[in-house]
Amino acid sequence: MSPIAYSALGHRAQPPTIARLMTLMLENPKLLSIAAGFTDTKTLPVSVVQAAVDTLARREGDPEYLQYGTNQGRPKLRALLADRLLALETPSDADAVRKNVFVTNGSQQALYLAMQVLCDPGDIVLVDRPSYFVYLEMLAGLGVQTRSLPVDAAGRIDGPALRTLLADMRKTGELSRLKAVYFVSYFSNPSARSLDETEKNAIASALTEAGAIVPVLEDAAYRELYYERPHPARSVLSLPSWSAFPRLYFSTLTKTFASGLKVGYGTSSDAGLLAKMLHVKGHHDFGTANYNQALLEEVITQGGLDAQLAVIRAAYLRKMHALHGALVEAGLASLGWTWTVPEGGLYLWLTAPASLDTGLDAAFCRACVDAGVLYVPGELCFGHDAPKNHIRLSFGVLGEADLAEAGRRFTGVAKRFA
Distance CA(187)–CA(166), nearest Å, equals 27
- At 181 the three-state DSSP class reads strand
- At 407 the three-state DSSP class reads helix
* Residue 248 or 371 with smaller CB distance to a copy of itself: 248
Q: What is the DSSP letter of 336?
A: T
* Residue 42 or 415 with smaller CB distance to a copy of itself: 42
CB of 107 to a copy of itself, least distance (A): 10
* Residue 117 or 161 with smaller CB distance to a copy of itself: 117
> Of 276-295, which residues contact a copy of itself (CB under 8 A)?
276, 279-280, 282-292, 294
> Of 256-275, which residues contact a copy of itself (CB under 8 A)?
258-263, 270, 272-273, 275
115 with 138: CB under 8 angstroms? Answer: yes
* Residue 92 or 198 with smaller CB distance to a copy of itself: 92
* Residue 114 or 157 with smaller CB distance to a copy of itself: 114
Asked whether position 411 contacts a copy of itself by CB under 8 A, the answer is no
* Residue 193 or 319 with smaller CB distance to a copy of itself: 319
Using H for helix, E for strand and C for coil, what is the string for 114-158?
HHHHHCCCCCEEEECCCCCHHHHHHHHHCCCEEEECCECCCCCEC
372 with 32: CB under 8 angstroms? Answer: yes
**Which of these segments, 56-64, 145-153, 196-204, 333-341, binds a copy of itself (CB under 8 A)?**
56-64
Bridge partner residues of 104 (DSSP): 264
Q: Going residue by residue from 1 to 40, which x/- string records binding to a copy of itself, judged by CB under 8 A? A: xx-xxxxxxx--xxxx---------------------xx-
Amino acid at 291: Y
Q: How far is CA 116 from CA 54, 105, 370, in A?
A: 39, 15, 41
* Residue 287 or 377 with smaller CB distance to a copy of itself: 287
User: Nearest CA to 181 among 121, 224, 103, 129?
Assistant: 129
Distance CA(332)–CA(411), nearest Å, equals 6
224 with 261: CB under 8 angstroms? Answer: no
Asked whether position 41 contacts a copy of itself by CB under 8 A, the answer is yes
Asked whether position 401 contacts a copy of itself by CB under 8 A, the answer is no
Distance CA(149)–CA(160), nearest Å, equals 11
Peptide bond into 160 cis (omega under 30): no
* Residue 123 or 224 with smaller CB distance to a copy of itself: 123
Q: What is the size of the binding site for a copy of itself (CB under 8 A)? A: 83
Hey, which bits of 60-215 come out as E strands? 102-104, 124-127, 145-148, 178-184
Peptide bond into 130 cis (omega under 30): yes
**Which of these segments, 94-102, 198-206, 209-217, 375-383, binds a copy of itself (CB under 8 A)?**
209-217
> Of 308-367, which residues contact a copy of itself (CB under 8 A)?
none
CB of 49 to a copy of itself, least distance (A): 7
Asked whether position 235 contacts a copy of itself by CB under 8 A, the answer is no
387 with 379: CB under 8 angstroms? Answer: yes
Asked whether position 108 contacts a copy of itself by CB under 8 A, the answer is yes
CB of 135 to a copy of itself, least distance (A): 9
Bridge partner residues of 20 (DSSP): none
> Of 116-135, which residues contact a copy of itself (CB under 8 A)?
116-120, 123, 134
Asked whether position 254 contacts a copy of itself by CB under 8 A, the answer is yes
